[in-house]
Amino acid sequence: MVTSNEQNRREQRHGRLPADKQMMDILPFPVFMLDENDRFLWLNHAAEGFFQSSQAMLVSLQMSELLISDSPFFSLVRRARQSERPVSDKSLRLISPKFGVRNAAIQVTPLPVSDNIEERGAVLVTLQEQGLSDQLAAQNTVKSAALSMSKMTSLLAHEVKNPLAGIKGAAQLLESEVPEESRELSSMIVTEADRITALLNRIENLSSDMPVQLKDVNIHEILDHCIRITKASFGRHLDINCHYDPSLPNIDADPELLVQCFLNLFKNASEATDKKGILKLTTSYNLSRYLSTSQSFQVHLPLQIEIEDNGSGIPEELHDYIFEPFISGKQNGSGLGLAMVASVVADHGGAVSVDTLPAGTCFTVNLPIPSHVTGRRPRQPAGAR
C-alpha cells in the first residue's frame, strides 16, 4: 500500500503534483498540511523557506519538533478540529529553536473528510509573516527624518564646522606658547573639536541624499572584506563563524555602503561581547520573505544575511526604537550606527530586523535580487566553511 507521504514524494520527483498543490506552490506565503497527529503531509516552497528546511526533511516530522511545546499554535489547531471550521489569529508568535521568533497571521482550515486514512483529521495552515512591512515603514521614517536633516546639517557644516576649525587652529598655536602644565587643556580643546567635527560628518553621511552607486556585487565578498577589517581592528576577540549559501546570486548594490552597513553591525556585536565573543554569519535564500508596500504590491526580499552574537543583548525598552537616530543602549554611544544601517538597507529596497535571543542578539538583513536573475548561480565564497 502506497502511503500519502510516499505518493507526495513520488509526485514531486516526477513533476506530477496535483493541480491544487501546484497552485499553492506558486503562492508567496507559506502553506502546509498537517495530519491528525500534527505531522507534515505536504508544504509549498514558501513554507520550506519559512521553516528553513526541505520538504523531504519535513514530511512526517511533527510540528512539536519545530515549535516549543506550549506554543499557542497547537491550541489554534485543536480549536479548528473541534469546531470543524476555519480558525485564525491575526498575530501569533511562533518560537522555535530552529528559526527563532516569528510573528505571523495564521489561518487553520480543517480539510473535508477523506477516504485516505492519513488525511483524516488533517488541517491546512496558511501563514503570512508580519513585521517586514512595519520594519520598512520604520526604516523609511528613519530615512525621511534623516533626509529632512540634510538642509540643517549643511547649515551646521557652514555655521559650526568653519568656526570650529578656527578654534582648533587657535588651540594648536597656543599649545606651543603656553606653559607645560597648561598644554593638557589646549590639547583637550583640539581633541574635542575633532570629536565634534567627526560627529557632524557622521550626521551628514546619514542625511545624505546622494544616489546609490549600484554595481554587480557578491554579498560574500562584501562580508569577507568586513571580516578582515573586523579581525584586524575592533573585533580581534571575536570568534567569527560563517555559514554561507554558495548558490546565492549576485545583487545590484553599492559596495561601499554595504561595507559601511555590515561594519556597523559587526562593531555593534563586538562592543556587546566579552573576550569569549562569538559572531555567527549566515546567508540563505529565504523564499518566504515578501514585503507588502503602501502601493499594495509585494516585493520579494529573498537574499538573507543573519548577524548573530552572544553578547549582552538590547535593553527591552529600546527594542522598538533601536534603528532611530540618537537612540543607543551603549554608554557614550552616539546612536547613529544602527540608524545608518537602516538607512542603507532602505536605500537598497531591503528590510532589517532585530531579535533578542536567550543569549545575544540577531540582526537579519533581507535584500532583493535583480529582476533578471531567474535562478541561483553557484558561487563558492572565499569565507564559506
Of 207, 237, 257, the one marking the end of a domain is: 207
Amino acid 77: pLDDT: 92
Q: How much is the average pLDDT of 337-345? A: 84
Are residue 84 and residue 151 in the same domain, yes or no?
no
Are residue 30 and residue 126 in the same domain, yes or no?
yes
pLDDT value at 385 more than 50: no
More confident residue, 99 or 271: 271
Copy the grid coordinates of residue 21.
498543490
d(CA 237, CA 137): 36
- Report yes or no: 106 and 127 within 8 Å, Cβ to Cβ: yes
H runs (alpha helix) in 176-321: 183-207, 219-232, 255-272
- Domain, as residue range, for 289: 136-143+214-367
More confident residue, 72 or 97: 72
216: exposed, middle or buried (C-beta count within 10 Å: 0-12, 13-18, 19+)?
exposed
* CA contacts within 13 A on the Cβ side of 255: 13
Q: Which of 247, 284, 206 is nearest to 375 (CA)?
A: 247
Are residue 15 and residue 126 in the same domain, yes or no?
yes
Are residue 64 and residue 16 in the same domain, yes or no?
yes
| Percent of the chain predicted with pLDDT > 70 | 72
Are residue 230 and residue 158 in the same domain, yes or no?
no
| Percent of the chain predicted with pLDDT > 90 | 24
**What is the full DSSP assignment across 50-103?**
HHTS-HHHHTT-BGGGTS-TT-HHHHHHHHHHHHTS-EEEEEEEEEETTTEEEE
Work out the pLDDT band at 292, boundaries 50, 70, 90.
low
Amino acid 353: pLDDT: 87
Amino acid 14: pLDDT: 38
d(CA 56, CA 62): 13
pLDDT value at 81 more than 80: yes
d(CA 54, CA 52): 7
d(CA 341, CA 258): 9
Q: How much is the average pLDDT of 70-95? A: 86
- Classify residue 282: in a domain, yes or no: yes
- Classify residue 380: in a domain, yes or no: no
- Report yes or no: 153 and 197 within 8 Å, Cβ to Cβ: no
- Report yes or no: 74 and 56 within 8 Å, Cβ to Cβ: no
- Classify residue 381: in a domain, yes or no: no
Amino acid 157: pLDDT: 60
Residues facing residue 43 across a β-bridge? 32
Work out the pLDDT band at 256, boundaries 50, 70, 90.
confident
Work out the pLDDT band at 13, boundaries 50, 70, 90.
very low
Work out the pLDDT band at 303, boundaries 50, 70, 90.
very high
Are residue 193 and residue 226 in the same domain, yes or no?
no
Are residue 220 and residue 362 in the same domain, yes or no?
yes
Amino acid 144: pLDDT: 54
Of 180, 207, 234, the one marking the end of a domain is: 207
More confident residue, 33 or 373: 33
- Please write the tens of the pLDDT for every residue from 172-208: 888 778 787 777 777 878 887 887 777 677 666 655 5
- Report yes or no: 127 and 29 within 8 Å, Cβ to Cβ: yes
pLDDT value at 375 more than 80: no
Are residue 103 and residue 191 in the same domain, yes or no?
no
- Classify residue 85: in a domain, yes or no: yes
Neighbours of 152 (CB within 10 A): 11
Between helix 183-207 and helix 132-148 the angle, nearest 10°, is: 120
Of 18-22, 149-153, 189-193, 372-376, the range with the highest mean pLDDT is 189-193
- Classify residue 185: in a domain, yes or no: yes
Amino acid 124: pLDDT: 92
Copy the grid coordinates of residue 135.
520594519
**Close Cβ partners of 11 (under 8 Å, ≥ 6 residues apart):** 17, 18, 21
- Report yes or no: 281 and 241 within 8 Å, Cβ to Cβ: yes
**Mean pLDDT of all residues belonging to the chain:** 77
pLDDT value at 354 more than 70: yes
Copy the grid coordinates of residue 156.
551646521
CATH of the domain at 55: 3.30.450.20
d(CA 207, CA 146): 4
Work out the pLDDT band at 244, boundaries 50, 70, 90.
very high
- Report yes or no: 121 and 36 within 8 Å, Cβ to Cβ: yes
Are residue 47 and residue 125 in the same domain, yes or no?
yes
CATH of the domain at 239: 3.30.565.10
Are residue 123 and residue 27 in the same domain, yes or no?
yes
d(CA 52, CA 243): 14
d(CA 134, CA 327): 19
Of 192, 207, 222, the one marking the end of a domain is: 207
Are residue 50 and residue 195 in the same domain, yes or no?
no
- Classify residue 374: in a domain, yes or no: no
Least confident range from 138-142, 162-166, 217-221: namely 138-142
Q: Which of 194, 213, 34 is nearest to 127 (CA)?
A: 34
Amino acid 376: pLDDT: 47
- Report yes or no: 242 and 230 within 8 Å, Cβ to Cβ: no
- Classify residue 242: in a domain, yes or no: yes
pLDDT value at 260 more than 50: yes
Q: How many domains does the chain have?
A: 3
More confident residue, 151 or 244: 244
Q: How much is the average pLDDT of 285-308? A: 74
Q: Any idea what the Cα angle at residue 201 is, between residues 197 and 207, rounded to 5°? A: 145
d(CA 201, CA 205): 6
Q: 258-282: string of b/e by CB count within 10 Å (b at 16+)?
A: bbbbbbbbbbbbbbbbeeebbbbbb
User: Which residue in the block uniquely carries the three cell numbers 536567550?
Assistant: 358
pLDDT value at 352 more than 70: yes
Work out the pLDDT band at 219, boundaries 50, 70, 90.
very high
Residues facing residue 283 across a β-bridge? 305
Are residue 38 and residue 78 in the same domain, yes or no?
yes
d(CA 266, CA 194): 25
d(CA 370, CA 308): 26
- Classify residue 328: in a domain, yes or no: yes
